[in-house]
């Protein structure tokens, strides 16, 4: 069921989103070559809990960690690991969900580890721009397909990257995952019409190679690219309002100024 949120609920989600934003800002300073992905988990969980939030991924369908920390060809949902040490040139994606007094926020971000290649820099830049092209379409009266069409046109048609299809955005609040489904591909003018008070995630996952992925048979969680190519992801929670899309997880007010 799709729920329409009041301004009070949106304000509560924004406060939750401020915790995620602060965590990601801290990770910008923390992430560097020689760091284990477990240190990312420790920092993130401590940050969330010390700011009054709950790391909502813990216990979700048996998941044990506050974050997913996915490196290079790992697309999403990878466990933080004590023995996985980041190297110069890696790309690492950190995703988490925060519950603050019953209000949820969800955000993933990609980080360059040390000095990355021009190829990786371009992948990250294209993925981030794709996120904001999708957000631009999150307008009252538009349809879900408008979001996905804008993202896929830019990622696939204009840049030739693989636009992951198996994992998509979603509604959020009053739980972590709600209707509607928000694919990062689609047909403009098709799908559910967007209404004021909807809150959704937009979270494109983009691969240097093909779009197909596979899930680890060993742990049942870790998603990797089928062809071994590297992947990037960026994610925001967005409220649909009569004044345009509003980002509730902004970690860069200057960059996000038009959406605040």
**Segment 228-243 mean pLDDT:** 98
Q: For residue 156, report the phi and psi dihedrals to the nearest 5 degrees.
A: -90, -55
Model confidence band, residue 254 (pLDDT cutoffs 50, 70, 90): confident
For 187-209, how does the pLDDT look when each residue is reduced to its tens digit (9 = 90+)? 999 999 999 999 999 999 999 99
The Cα angle at residue 96 between residues 93 and 99, in degrees rounded to 5: 165
Please tell me the pTM assigned to this model.
Answer: 0.97
Cβ neighbours of residue 138 under 8 Å, at least 6 residues apart?
A: 147, 194, 200, 202, 238, 240, 245
Composition of the chain by helix, strand, coil, percent to 5:
30, 25, 45
- How high is the pLDDT of residue 239? 98
What domains lie within the chain, and their CATH numbers? 7-255 (3.90.230.10)
- Annotated binding-site members: 77, 95, 106, 170, 177, 203, 235
In whole angstroms, what is the distance from residue 211 CA to residue 226 CA? 8
- Annotated binding-site members for a divalent metal cation: 95, 106, 170, 203, 235
- How high is the pLDDT of residue 198? 98
Element (H, E) at 206: strand 205-207
For 77-83, which contacts have Cβ atoms below 8 Å and span 24 or more sequence positions?
77/215, 77/221, 77/222, 77/223, 78/37, 78/221, 78/222, 78/223, 79/219, 79/221, 79/222, 80/37, 80/38, 80/40, 80/41, 81/36, 81/37, 81/38, 82/36, 82/38, 83/36
For 26-58, how does the pLDDT look when each residue is reduced to its tens digit (9 = 90+)? 999 999 999 999 999 999 999 999 999 999 999
Model confidence band, residue 255 (pLDDT cutoffs 50, 70, 90): confident
For 167-180, how does the pLDDT look when each residue is reduced to its tens digit (9 = 90+)? 999 999 999 999 99
Q: For residue 10, report the phi and psi dihedrals to the nearest 5 degrees.
A: -65, -40
- Annotated binding-site members for substrate: 77, 177
For 111-168, how does the pLDDT look when each residue is reduced to its tens digit (9 = 90+)? 999 999 999 999 999 999 999 999 999 999 999 999 999 999 999 999 999 999 999 9
Q: Which among 118, 214, 206 has a CA at the least distance from the CA of 160?
A: 206
**Segment 241-249 mean pLDDT:** 98
Edge-to-edge strand list for the sheet holding 213-215: 74-76, 223-225, 213-215
**Average per-residue pLDDT for the chain:** 97
- How high is the pLDDT of residue 245? 98
In whole angstroms, what is the distance from residue 81 CA to residue 145 CA? 37
Determine contact, residues 208/162, Cβ cutoff 8 Å: yes
Residue 248 confidence (pLDDT) above 90:
yes
Residue 65 confidence (pLDDT) above 90:
yes
- How high is the pLDDT of residue 64? 96
Determine contact, residues 107/47, Cβ cutoff 8 Å: no
Give the C-alpha distances (Å, rounded to integers) separating 245 from 139, 172, 250: 6, 15, 12
């Amino acid at each position: 069921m799709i729920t329409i949120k009041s301004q009070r609920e949106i304000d509560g989600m924004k406060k939750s989103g401020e915790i995620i934003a602060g965590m990601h800002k801290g990770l910008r300073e923390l992430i560097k070559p020689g760091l284990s992905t477990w240190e990312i988990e420790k920092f993130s969980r401590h940050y969330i809990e010390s700011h009054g939030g709950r790391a909502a991924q813990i216990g979700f369908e048996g998941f044990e960690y506050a974050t997913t920390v996915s490196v290079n060809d790992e697309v999403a949902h990878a466990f933080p690991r004590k023995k996985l040490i980041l190297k110069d040139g890696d790309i690492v994606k950190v995703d988490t969900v925060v519950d603050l007094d019953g209000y949820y926020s969800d955000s993933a971000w990609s980080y360059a580890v040390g000095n990355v290649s021009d190829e990786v820099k371009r992948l990250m830049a294209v993925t981030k721009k794709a996120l904001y092209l999708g957000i631009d379409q999150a307008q009252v009266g538009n349809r879900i397909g408008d979001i996905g069409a804008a993202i896929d046109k830019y990622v696939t048609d204009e840049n030739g990257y693989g636009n992951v299809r198996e994992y998509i955005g979603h509604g959020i609040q009053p739980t972590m995952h709600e209707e509607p489904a928000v694919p990062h591909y689609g047909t403009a003018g098709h799908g559910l019409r967007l209404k004021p008070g909807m809150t959704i995630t937009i979270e494109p996952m983009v691969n240097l190679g093909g779009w197909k992925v596979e899930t680890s048979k060993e742990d049942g969680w870790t998603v990797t690219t089928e062809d071994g190519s590297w992947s990037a992801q960026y994610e925001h929670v967005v409220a649909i309002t009569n004044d345009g899309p509003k980002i509730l997880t902004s970690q860069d007010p200057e960059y996000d100024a038009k959406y605040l």
